[in-house]
Amino acid sequence: MLAGPPRLLSVVSVAVVLLLGWWYLSLVHTTSATPPLKTDHSPPPKSPKKNTGFRASVDPLDFSIPLIFTPGTPKPAGSNYSRILVLPKTQKEDIFWIHAELPDIPLAVYQVDNDTAEFRVPKNKGREAMVYLTYLIDFYNDLPDTIMFFHSHRYAWHNNILMGLDTAQAIRRLSDARVARLGYMNTRCHTDPGCPDWIHMDRPVVDFDDFHKPEEKYYRKGVWDELHPGAPIPPSLSAPCCAQFAVSRERVQQVPIERFIHYRKWLLETSMDDQFSGRVFEYIWQYIFTGNAVYCPAVSSCYCDGYGICFGGEKKTQHWFEVMDERNKYYEELDGHNKEKTKAEEEGKAFEFTEEVKARMKELEAKIRSMDDEMNKLRDAAYERGKEIRNQEAERETYDDTHIWDKVEQR
């Protein structure tokens, strides 16, 4: 596993995951019936288009000249896209779930601790960042349409709630057209942690929030200058967390390969502790691939245009999560009572709920049941709505109406 230091935040999130767990299981049946979006498994083309994003006369490592990216053009509806799934893995980790769930997907699995593996990194350092950069460098001229970078575990608290925190589902549903259009897509739709105002590289040491942002203290001005010499320090680095994303071939090739080599050299040479050096890249992938230090797409656009799950706007999408939060609060209360009983029984004590508690528990059960029903209905309707391309279009961001396109510095 590539997990970094224990995150306090993730402990909280694990609790949420557990609460969601049993609720999700009851939904799984309806989900798995949803047809996947189209993908193509043909081999990548042999002669990709030439890199057009950068003028050859300019030093590719002069970071004072921002790369200006423009939206890509998706293929006509119904077209197939070639794909690859890039992931890091240790010898111990098992990825049987990929073979079971995504048997046809082309893979580049980097075994970071196996010197004879097919896909290798120069050094097992920098966690997943070393793997992602090595793939980009080694296959820069031989990329499929869509390149997906994920961790090797199937379920994670930082995956998407509406897809059961399941990477397999996310990969099946991921819209290649959105990746082609945006060039870069963070596969996590939820903005917390990471958005909208996250890492500040010029903040005094006393101002760190070690609880919510344990990583912030590693993003210092010196690190930024080493990685992006000449580029101004952005007011913040903000993007949905956790370093799983998809990029288009066109976008990768708009970033000069020298930059990927430079980033990897930094990772190989830095004396920063391994678990943090990899973490540093977590909040700069969006900068590398979009030029935006702040990149926080609306949750609704991500789910709807990205995965075909369309509630009909940001408000309605947020409503679903508000119901979920409330439902989870009731669940926690109910669970507290049940745990009290279990504990007493384990200790061999006699235990009876008071009449008052019994009545409250009944009330909670009813509330939870009805909220689950409401959530299921809304969710099924969103999956249904998301099947129509025009509904996906309706929730898609346009080039200039959202904050995510604000450049730190426009030239």
Closer CB to ligand NAG, 88 or 234, in the complex: 88
Strand partners, 247: 147, 184
Residue that has been written with the tokens 């793939």 in this structure: 135
If binding is defined by CB under 6 A, does position 79 make contact with ligand NAG? yes
If binding is defined by CB under 6 A, does position 114 make contact with ligand NAG? yes
Pairing of strands 245-248, 184-186: antiparallel
Residue 361: exposure state from Cβ atoms within 10 A (0-12, 13-18, ≥19): middle
If binding is defined by CB under 6 A, does position 111 make contact with ligand NAG? yes
Q: Which of 22, 35, 46, 91 binds ligand NAG (CB under 6 A)?
A: 91
If binding is defined by CB under 6 A, does position 116 make contact with ligand NAG? yes
Nearest distance from residue 26's CB to ligand NAG, in Å? 33
Half-sphere exposure of 129 (CA within 13 A, CB side): 26
**From residue 268, how far is each of 3, 286, 298 by CA, in Å?**
19, 21, 35
Nearest distance from residue 80's CB to ligand NAG, in Å? 4
- Please tell me the count of residues contacting ligand NAG according to CB under 6 A: 10
Nearest distance from residue 76's CB to ligand NAG, in Å? 9
If binding is defined by CB under 6 A, does position 80 make contact with ligand NAG? yes
If binding is defined by CB under 6 A, does position 95 make contact with ligand NAG? no
Strand partners, 408: none
Nearest distance from residue 274's CB to ligand NAG, in Å? 21
Strand partners, 108: 86
Closer CB to ligand NAG, 118 or 393, in the complex: 118
Nearest distance from residue 144's CB to ligand NAG, in Å? 14
The single-letter DSSP state of residue 350 is: -
> Residues 146-175 vs ligand NAG: string with x where CB under 6 A?
------------------------------
Burial 368-407, CB ≥16 within 10 A → b, else e? beebbeebeebbeebbebbeeeebbeebbbeeeeeebbee
Q: Tell me which H or E stretch contains 131.
A: helix 127-138
**Angstrom distance (rounded) from CA 311 to CA 67:** 35
Stretch that binds ligand NAG, among 116-124, 130-138, 151-159, 213-221 (CB under 6 A): 116-124
> Residues 39-68 vs ligand NAG: string with x where CB under 6 A?
-x----------------------------
Stretch that binds ligand NAG, among 73-81, 135-143, 151-159, 373-381 (CB under 6 A): 73-81
Closer CB to ligand NAG, 123 or 329, in the complex: 123
Helix-then-strand count for the chain, H and E: 15, 5
Q: Which of 29, 49, 50, 78 binds ligand NAG (CB under 6 A)?
A: 78
Residue that has been written with the tokens 């073979």 in this structure: 99
**Angstrom distance (rounded) from CA 171 to CA 168:** 5
Interface contacts to ligand NAG, rule CB under 6 A: 40, 78-80, 91, 111, 114, 116-118
